[in-house]
Amino acid sequence: MTKLSVNINKIATIRNARGANNPNVVKVALDCERFGAQGITVHPRPDERHIRYQDVLDLAQVVRTEFNIEGYPDARFMELIRTVKPAQATLVPDPPTAITSNTGWDTIQHQAMLRDIVAELHEMGTRVSIFINSEAKYFEPAKATGTDRVELYTEPYASVYPLDREKAVQPYVEVAKLATELGLGLNAGHDLDLHNLAYLKQQIPQLEEVSIGHALICDALYYGLENTIQLYRRQLEL
């Protein structure tokens, strides 16, 4: 079974636009769980333009499904993980000014750094996933870091899918097989939606988790949050 983790960053973006507490990020996270989400994902950034570090502390007190914290592993991020001890920390190579994640780690160039960070996170009792592109050369170096999982960066898949879905998914099928042979768990995320999610899951049945935020929240404006989460769950069960 592939778990659906709902990224609630966009909920915080809406809240921050008015400066009060509406919508309430904690309540939305609890509602997501109640409506069928099997995990909650957040990605706090240094400028706190959406999820704030205090949100992460507040959510840690109430989230009962898998709590996944994404981010660049600077000192503040590592201290947050040490305090919260989430089920999973997903390492993303984002500079502070990035609007959204736009590439995976170069696990060749950054292998030594990532190995040290993964070891430190394991000492905290947290499972580790590394955000990675669908290029075979990065997978053995990723395995050498000691990471538990890799998260496939799926924006290239989503971009090509409307034109040629077989071509879009082929690199992912190949690296998914390699990851499995290496003993790496597989997550996926970025630009997955109700149109392309089921096909990805059908072609890569070993996916353990998908993290979806922007598209899911946009769909919820039309279908309602509860119905939308159920729609995404169904895509993973086809």
**Hey, which residues are catalytic here?**
43, 70, 190
Q: Which of 73, 104, 84 is nearest to 171 (CA)?
A: 104
**Mean pLDDT of successive 10-residue segments in the chain (238 residues)?**
97 96 98 98 94 98 98 96 98 76 90 98 98 98 98 98 98 98 98 98 98 98 98 96
The alpha carbon torsion through 233, 234, 237, 238 (nearest 10 deg) reads -150
Q: Which residue has the tokens 């059908």?
A: 202
* pLDDT value, residue 99: 60
Cis peptide before 205 (omega within 30 of 0): no
**In sequence order, which residues have a C-beta less than 8 Å from that of residue 15 and are 6 or more positions away?**
21, 22, 23, 24, 25
* pLDDT value, residue 96: 66
Per-residue tokens: 104: 């995976």
**In sequence order, which residues have a C-beta less than 8 Å from that of residue 69 and are 6 or more positions away?**
41, 42, 43, 44, 56, 77, 80, 81, 84, 86, 88, 89, 90
Residue ranges and CATH numbers for the domains of the chain are: 3-235 (3.20.20.70)
* pLDDT value, residue 148: 98
For residue 80, how many C-alpha atoms fall within 13 Å in the half-sphere facing its CB?
Answer: 28
* pLDDT value, residue 42: 98
pTM of the model: 0.96
231 neighbors 194 (Cβ within 8 angstroms)? yes
C-alpha 52/C-alpha 208 separation (Å) is 27
C-alpha 186/C-alpha 147 separation (Å) is 11
